[in-house]
Amino acid sequence: MLDVKLEQLLEAGVHFGHQKSRWNPKMRPYIFGVRGKIHIIDLRKTIKHLKNAYEVMRTYSAQGRSILFVGTKKQIKDIIAEEAQRAGVYWVSERWLGGMMTNFRTIRQSVQRLRQIEKMFEDKTTEQLTKKEVNILRKKLERLNTVLGGVRDMENPPDLIYLVDPTNEKTAVLEARKLGIPIVAIVDTNCDPDLIDHIIPGNDDAIKSVRLITSIMADAVIDGRSGGQLGSSFARKMKQEKPDEGEVVEEGGEIQEEKSGEQSEDTENQ
């Protein structure tokens, strides 16, 4: 079972929501209060839902079912790719192509094209082309790899999706719901929790928050695949580190400023 501590979530800034003016009223049950016009998420609820999400991810992994990690916002896309690869699951971290699940056959055709171009470079077929044609193919290959690299081996739509920020990934959410694919997601105070099967109330903008929660989800996948023998790397880390004592939630504090800065970097997360 996941052993998650309140102090670790506080340190990562998981509790910082959006400005009060931008909230979704459906998130009311998960909000602790307001500080400096910023909603504060109730971390007791976060821990409860995080443990549930961990068990969902672990169970799907133990059953050998396919899992897809999704997160395309600039500041967190590398985290998604890194943790997905660590867990050995599929991922989309650059751009969600419309129809990636609902028009899966077309996506597979694009993957096939990617492999054809790769083969042309491998077997030196490109030597028969002009320099301009080779450059066009190379750019196309790079573009296809960037968008489809994380799903190139996914033969069918996934059985489960973990994503960061349903509001930003609304197309992925709608496609998953249309196909009946369950979703585990970090849900901030501006999101609609009714669209998500297994929510994790938390800060979906701050790098520390997303890295912490996503690493826990990756641990769950690894734990499930190992039959529960490895345990959570997060839990092992908690045993080794003693969190800082004292008041962490401060108006205008460092983590709050970090979230605000990241929102403006990502088109103000509208």
- Of the three residues 86, 121, 148, the one that is the final residue of a domain is 148
Residue 12 φ then ψ, to 5°: -85, -5
Residues 165 and 49 in one domain: yes
**Cβ atoms within 10 Å, residue 20:** 14
Ranges of residues in the chain with a pLDDT under 70 are 1, 228-270
Which residue segment(s) compose the domain that 162 sits in?
Answer: 6-100+157-269
pLDDT tens digits for range 114-151: 999 999 999 988 888 899 999 999 999 999 999 999 99
Residues 192 and 237 in one domain: yes
* Single-letter code of the amino acid located at 100: M
Domain count, the chain: 2
Which pLDDT score is estimated for 1? 64
Which pLDDT score is estimated for 245? 36
Q: Please name which of 89, 44, 42, 82 lies closest in space to residue 184, comparing C-alpha atoms.
A: 89
**Cα gap 189→193, rounded to integer Å:** 9
Q: What is the CATH number of the domain that holds 263?
A: 3.40.50.10490
- Of the three residues 92, 122, 148, the one that is the final residue of a domain is 148
**98 vs 34, 46, 102, 145, 188, CA distance in Å?**
37, 31, 8, 17, 24
Which pLDDT score is estimated for 128? 87
Q: Are 18 and 188 in contact (CB under 8 A)?
A: yes
Q: Rg (Cα) of the chain, in Å, rounded?
A: 20
**250 vs 8, 51, 263, CA distance in Å?**
16, 26, 19
The model carries a pTM of 0.83
Q: What is the CATH number of the domain that holds 126?
A: 1.10.287
pLDDT tens digits for range 232-264: 444 444 444 444 433 333 333 333 434 543 443
